[in-house]
Structure 1
């Protein structure tokens, strides 16, 4: 299967430039020395962004940036460059930078002074470099590192500044707030260990089930709102369940497929099932922290009571997410997107999978979690691959001609494949087995 455009296997020259810029800023934050002069030079920056803006239909991107919050927008120099900071302040480049992102301010003078080597992107300044680096490599799972970053760039219309702000916000969210990596590693059994009754009820009811693939090979999550009642769980338990399902769906993704499909089956839905809080939370997650991870979202068999509910929900949606929502009424409608073998029999398809049966994994399936020796050996190999990837990326950023850059990009893709294979070996030693591992439908 050929990779779609905008992935590391299929990038234009200007898209490569934006990817190099993101890596350059991440490396500077992590303390990895890199000569970023070529990718942050005024000429390169101007030509790349001009080609993007000419084709952009997002009017918001053309507006000057608002004054930055603590995780977004402006830039600062590292402490090692404090002397150069004072000398350059006479030209007042920082004041000019504050009035707009670099994509809306093209002055060669201001850009040149804003981006000397060693400068740290302001979006990253409140995050600890070691924590950010560790979390970035941890959150990959089977993703290619470049393709993970490219999701954020595509979501922000190839605006490097905005993509970095989004990445920083997501890393802060993963590290300090919702901690989805802890949730997926603990898995379903963690809910039982902690006796989180509402969380357990969601799991046992199978409100959301991962089963089958759509016609584009994307994993399908079947959600049945008729099983939901807000009183069954706390808000925190509902959020944990949402993140468990999202992160489990990520486990099903295999290159070049990088998004999932959600089928909201509203069969039997009534007003007693309506709960706006989880809907808002899911929308915010996909828009802010899992960009470009949603293929289609089907709303199937919406009852007559649904239109006023939809009138409220649609106002919360980003236009990109809204464009992926499809209303379906019949089996034939679904069959345009899903093979019949993965459409449940009760919806007129051929799939006789039991969506109401949950089998709790036995504790014995997690025996490998106790094998620290094997885990550490795999992690040691992983560190070597990561270092090789970093070295190749540095050379790629610093490359002076297209041929060298192309060769190094192929090296990076090969190392990404090694990272994916390494994670497949590591996975049973760090992640509790889910019902999907046990029934064989999930093969990492």
Structure 2
């Protein structure tokens, strides 16, 4: 069945949205070190070291008139999403190469344009806010949650082994993580009429306090990452069907992670 392509997605952009996407790519390229600042020479060195600019130079020069520089005091004061400080910290603590790797690890089998458009839609097509949100998300995935290097890479088998041979909190988290698979707390099964993967969650099997908070977060992210791999363009959302004790199924739409 042919489905209408939602707006703001690859292949269905207005001229203004396409321009915002290009601007975000340029901003991201400079942060990742793919392109250099305007004042850098062919060899990558500034003719005048005192005028060398950082990774935010492009965005600072091309932000809308009156828009504060990311990380500045005025930007912090107007940081309604609470991410500007985190953005500045990420750029200070991570190399361009590590951020670049985080981006491609997150992209997986997705269209890279679709990844950037997701952040633009979330921030109402504001390039400044979308870049801040995106870099903060990269940091959370690669440093805080270690989604690709540990969680997905080890998978159920890896954490099952840790639950048997590990020690301390690591063993407890791994045991609680795998126990949620064993009890069948959720599963990704089939597609709905709009070709969205269906995640069935058996809420009656969830008892607060039975698992550690970290293991619950690990399990949730792992299920979402699994559902992502089942998405087929132009579909970019999944459906969660929560099966509770009552004979009522609550359907809710979740955005692609």
Q: Under a length normalisation based on structure 1, what TM-score does the superposition of the two structures give?
A: 0.43
Asked whether the 8 Å contact 1:22–1:164 carries over to 2, the reply is yes
Match runs of 1:372-387 below 5 Å: none
Q: Give the greater-gyration-radius structure (CA).
A: 1
| Partner of residue 205, structure 1 | 183
Whether 1:159 aligns to 2:126 is yes
The one-character-per-residue Cα deviations of 1:108-131 (angstroms, maximum 9, x if unpaired) are xxxxxxxxxxxxx95862332100
Please report the RMSD computed on the Cα atoms of aligned residues, expressed in angstroms.
Answer: 3.1
| Partner of residue 251, structure 1 | 229
| Partner of residue 161, structure 2 | 193
Asked whether the 8 Å contact 1:156–1:163 carries over to 2, the reply is yes
Asked whether the 8 Å contact 2:90–2:139 carries over to 1, the reply is no
Change (3 A) 1:136 1:209: same
| Partner of residue 421, structure 1 | none
The one-character-per-residue Cα deviations of 1:100-155 (angstroms, maximum 9, x if unpaired) are 69xxxxxxxxxxxxxxxxxxx95862332100111111221210001011001011
SS of residue paired to 2:12: coil
Asked whether the 8 Å contact 1:29–1:124 carries over to 2, the reply is no
| Partner of residue 202, structure 2 | 224
Of the three residues 24, 27, 35, the one matched with 1:25 is: 27
Asked whether the 8 Å contact 2:197–2:230 carries over to 1, the reply is yes
Whether 1:125 aligns to 2:91 is yes
Q: Which moved further from structure 2: 152-161 or 125-134? A: 125-134
SS of residue paired to 2:200: strand
Asked whether the 8 Å contact 1:226–1:267 carries over to 2, the reply is yes
Write 1 or 2 for the structure with the bigger share of helix: 1
Match runs of 1:166-177 below 5 Å: 166-177=133-144
Match runs of 1:39-118 below 5 Å: 82-83=50-51, 97=69, 98=72, 99=74
How many pairs does the alignment contain?
208
The one-character-per-residue Cα deviations of 1:62-106 (angstroms, maximum 9, x if unpaired) are xxxxxxxxxxxxxxxx99774277xxxxxxx999645469xxxxx
CA distance in 1, matches of 2:36, 2:238: 36
SS of residue paired to 1:132: helix
CA distance in 2, matches of 1:145, 1:268: 41
CA distance in 2, matches of 1:124, 1:232: 34
CA distance in 2, matches of 1:197, 1:250: 24
CA distance in 2, matches of 1:10, 1:123: 35
Cα deviation, residue 261, structure 1: 0.4
CA distance in 2, matches of 1:22, 1:193: 42
Cα deviation, residue 34, structure 1: 6.4
CA distance in 1, matches of 2:105, 2:156: 20
Cα deviation, residue 159, structure 1: 0.6
Change (3 A) 1:179 1:159: same
| Partner of residue 16, structure 2 | 14
CA distance in 2, matches of 1:244, 1:20: 31
CA distance in 1, matches of 2:88, 2:47: 13
Match runs of 1:388-407 below 5 Å: none
The one-character-per-residue Cα deviations of 1:349-389 (angstroms, maximum 9, x if unpaired) are xxxxxxxxxxxxxxxxxxxxxxxxxxxxxxxxxxxxxxxxx
Match runs of 1:268-417 below 5 Å: 299=250
Change (3 A) 1:227 1:84: closer
| Partner of residue 145, structure 1 | 112
Cα deviation, residue 9, structure 1: 1.2
Change (3 A) 1:149 1:208: same
Unaligned runs of 5+ residues in structure 2 are: 39-45, 54-64, 77-86, 164-173
Asked whether the 8 Å contact 2:241–2:250 carries over to 1, the reply is yes
| Partner of residue 434, structure 1 | none
